[in-house]
Amino acid sequence: MSNPTPTTSTHPIRALLVDDEALARARLRTLLADCREPLAVVAGEASGAVRAMEWLQHHACDVVLLDIHMPGADGLALAQAMQTLAQAPAVIFVTAHTEHALRAFDLAALDYLTKPVRLERLQEALQKVERARQYTRGLQADLPQEEVIIIVERGGTERVPVQQVVYFKAELKYVTVRTTIRSYVVDDTLNELEAQYGERFLRIHRNALIARSAVRSLQKQVDAVEGEGWAVRLSGVDELLAVSRRQLAAVRALVKG
């Protein structure tokens, strides 16, 4: 029994096209323009995995239509790298080769299309994306609004969930926001961030706030300038953060749970 066609969303599915062949991307653009159930638009294009990953760092889309055999990193490697993104889009592989289907579905691909792609088959794949979107919206409607930090960079604006932040660290005239994936820079002061998110974070030093839930261990360290002291290790990052003597008892309490 076939799955029912989902109700068309008021927002078209945004697709990133990744293929080293310009003609293949043009063919997909034409097919997407002909899609009606659901509607779809091209949000961006990339000729390889590296450029696609750079695009995804600064833009949002619902699905990546992804070729497998490309110069450099292939589509399978890109799909695996995309799993580290905070909001990873769905993946539909579009390839002339059928032998990678099992590996593709191991990477949680929604579908696997072989070239030349037929319109009916593309629409069927996009309907899976639409069903996934509707399911996600349903889950989000039942959850409280997630707190986010707005990161403004030259490449665009990004919403980083506060629950993904491991620490805030003041360095010279800016504050570093660190997640397990990457670092960002914000103009807020550490005092402002502490006032806003103090329930989730603990001040461990004049220059650092750490996520209470990320604390793993407390250990001694020897600094050439300050001598013997203490540092905290956090989940998801390699570096140690210095703990002031004043905050040592509070950090110990977190480690003990």
pLDDT of residue 4: 43
Proportion of the chain above pLDDT 90, given as a percent: 54
- Residue 256: pLDDT band (50, 70, 90) is confident
Interatomic CA distance for residues 173 and 46, integer angstroms: 36
- Once rounded to an integer, what is the mean pLDDT over residues 52-81? 92
Nearest C-alpha neighbor of 200 from the set 252, 146, 236, 155: 146
- Residue 51: pLDDT band (50, 70, 90) is very high
- Once rounded to an integer, what is the mean pLDDT over residues 149-162? 80
Q: Which long-range contacts (CB under 8 A, 24 or more apart) does 211-216 make?
A: 211/165, 211/166, 211/167, 212/254, 214/166, 214/167, 215/251, 215/254, 215/255, 216/255
pLDDT of residue 224: 54
The residues facing 176 across adjacent strands are: 169, 185
Q: List the domains of the chain with CATH numbers.
A: 13-141 (3.40.50.2300), 148-256 (2.40.50.1020)
- Residue 254: pLDDT band (50, 70, 90) is confident
103 close to 130: Cβ distance less than 8 angstroms? no
Residue 139 has pLDDT above 70, yes or no: no
Residue 255 has pLDDT above 90, yes or no: no
User: Which residues contact residue 85 at a Cβ distance below 8 angstroms, ignoring those fewer than 6 apart?
Assistant: 56, 181
Q: DSSP string spanning 118-179? A: PHHHHHHHHHHHHHHHHHHHHHHHTSPPPPEEEEEETTEEEEEEGGGEEEEEEETTEEEEEE
pLDDT tens profile 84-132: 887 789 999 998 877 777 776 777 788 999 999 999 999 999 999 998 8
Residue 10 has pLDDT above 60, yes or no: no
- Once rounded to an integer, what is the mean pLDDT over residues 67-79? 92
Place of tokens 């039942």: 142
- Once rounded to an integer, what is the mean pLDDT over residues 29-43? 94
- Once rounded to an integer, what is the mean pLDDT over residues 253-257? 83
